[in-house]
Amino acid sequence: MRLGIVRGSLVLNQAVPSLLGTRMVIVEPVTARNLELNNGLGGGKALIAVDRLGSGIGRMVGFVEGRTAANPFSPVDVPIDAYCALIVDQIEFQPPRGMGSLDRKVQK
């Protein structure tokens, strides 16, 4: 599972029957650096994910990718690569000591 920020949503004109009525969102994965800085930025390459939770634009979500993303639809086979599995309410992140970019000192 990875973390991402919802940046928008999609409206489908046509879809395969298994996706009719399915909400899709644009998710920008959050890099470890931006998570450490807690700056609200993502930094990763945006992707499309199915969202049955109703996450709003700007909300942080946990999403899964690959075959795991289709598990909630089982036994129906659906052509999806990413699924929003949770909405983040609060997050605390501390990189390993000495490994965080904020811990590094610039040497002159």
Domains of the chain, by residue range, sit at 2-87
CATH architecture of 2-87: Beta Barrel (2.40)
Say what the pLDDT of residue 107 is. Answer: 45
30 close to 60: Cβ distance less than 8 angstroms? yes
**Rounded Cα gap, residues 22 and 89, in angstroms:** 23
Say what the pLDDT of residue 102 is. Answer: 53
Cα distances (angstroms) measured from residue 91 to each of 1, 9, 27, 40? 15, 24, 18, 12
Sign of CA dihedral 56, 11, 26, 72: positive
Say what the pLDDT of residue 59 is. Answer: 96
Digitized pLDDT (tens) for each residue of the chain, 108 residues in all: 999 999 999 988 888 888 888 999 999 999 989 998 989 899 999 999 999 999 999 999 999 999 999 999 889 888 999 999 999 999 888 877 765 555 554 444
